[in-house]
Amino acid sequence: MILKYLSTHELNYSKSWTDGWNKIKDLSNFERYMTFFWFLGPFIYLIERDPADIWLTLISLIFLIRCYKLNHWNWSKQLWFRLALALWAFSLFSAILSPDPIFSFQQGFVWIRFPLYVAAAQVWLAKDRDIRIIMFLSIVIAMLLMCAILISECIIEPKTRLTWPYGDVVPGGYIVKFSLPVFCVLVAIAVAKKNKSGFYSGIIALVSIFVSFLTGERTNFLIRACSGMLGGLVWKPRFNLYIFLVLIELLAVFFIALKKPDLLVRFSSEFVSRIPIFNMSDNNGYWGTWRGGLQQGLITPLKGIGPSGTRNTCIALDTNLPDWLPGKNNCANHPHNFYIQLFAETGIIGLLLGSGMIICIILDCLKARAQNSNCPMSATAFVVPLALFFPFQQFGSFFGQWGNLFLWFAIGFSMSQYQGWNKSKFIK
């Protein structure tokens, strides 16, 4: 009954739920169990980093074994994956020549599981649209569970940065990055449908963005807000509904800010004053982390210092150089910007390979939109990589774990909307 209220003509959850489970019944035992395991992902992510990492890594490894047994490698000829593979290989080369080769090699080696997971989602687990919709609903349920957990934290243990259920200030990564594909779809439906499906989709989207604000994670909140606004524009928008939804969001955020003035400060003057591209002064630590990465990249411009190597070399840099670069270095575990980190740790070659990979991922998601613009999942797919890889923002580590687990899950779901890869000219 609930699925009927949420369903639209273009995204019929109720029908796809029935059809999807019927298709799963027809799979072999192995394929069926792996599909069940994939559906559990959103709930495993609610536990902690290690279970989520094991889940994603197992899927990546089993996918490779499956491809070997079936001799199924055509998918690997996609340009985005070739660039990912080239970036991985070059990062290992940089690691071998780095000051700390064992540590750097380990950091670079395990990164490949993220592109492998994306490929597994795209060409194996999520190749069927009805099965993708079942996973979509799984993500929605898990996202609402996380919202309930964080609202409970606000009531029981209120603070500026929320930490439940992980005990660390990262739950915004789940709300924003992990569930970003479904959020964009919900907003798109909310501003396109003047009926029950639009209303309930809008309510779910509004709850999630309010909770994102409550986490105190500024960059993640901006990612969600901007992605929602773009997602609402790219699929059959009714502009009166669009403006209404934006106004409701602004009013609700303003109301919460008045009730929690510490959040108002955190998201207003304090935030603006620390944006690196606007404030390059000595006392801006956010710019300082970028500066340290830029300086390291200029010292080793071709090959970089090796994956995750900047955490060890930043402290030894002569901050008087280069004299044209303003500010003061702030040495952290990484430069907090993917593109600066790629330049610093894999040089200009790694930066070009990584940037090319990201561009190809966005373009493939745009192809999904071109092939099936009537489906809100396909139409909004490109918003996810565009937002998550948008260059002028604070990132986690490119070669890190927790943040990447959130990010690459969302990329995998978005890339699964593009199934034209097996009809491309490189397939014989």
- Asked, for residue 310, whether it belongs to a domain, the answer is no
- Asked, for residue 317, whether it belongs to a domain, the answer is no
Q: What is the value of pTM for the model shown?
A: 0.95
The structure tokens 């395990």 sit at 110
Q: What is the per-residue burial (b if ≥16 Cβ within 10 Å, else e) of 129-163? A: bbbbbbbbbbbbebbeebbebbbebbeeeeeebbb
- First CA to last CA distance, the chain: 45
pLDDT of residue 425: 41
Q: Taking each helix axis from N to C terminus, what angle separates 402-415 and 49-70, rounded to the nearest 10 degrees? A: 40
- Asked, for residue 333, whether it belongs to a domain, the answer is no
Over range 371-386, report the average pLDDT: 97
Cα torsion for 168, 171, 173, 177, to the nearest 10°?
Answer: 160
Cα torsion for 337, 341, 347, 348, to the nearest 10°?
Answer: -10
Total domains, the chain: 1
Paired tokens of 50: 């290690």
pLDDT per residue as tens digits for the range 149-162: 999 999 999 988 99
- Asked, for residue 288, whether it belongs to a domain, the answer is no
CB 358 within 8 Å of CB 407: no
The structure tokens 């524009």 sit at 233
pLDDT at 427 over 50: no
pLDDT at 12 over 90: yes
The structure tokens 């150089």 sit at 321
- Asked, for residue 78, whether it belongs to a domain, the answer is yes
- The H helix count followed by the E strand count for the chain is 22, 0
The structure tokens 């489970």 sit at 21
Helix (H, G, I), strand (E, B) or coil at 419: coil
Identity (one letter) of the amino acid at 111?
Answer: W
- Asked, for residue 28, whether it belongs to a domain, the answer is yes
pLDDT per residue as tens digits for the range 266-284: 776 667 678 888 889 988 9
The overall average pLDDT reported for the chain is 93
334: nearest Cα among 304, 359, 361, 314: 314
- Asked, for residue 147, whether it belongs to a domain, the answer is yes
Give the range of the structural domain holding residue 178, as residue numbers without chain letter.
2-272+339-423
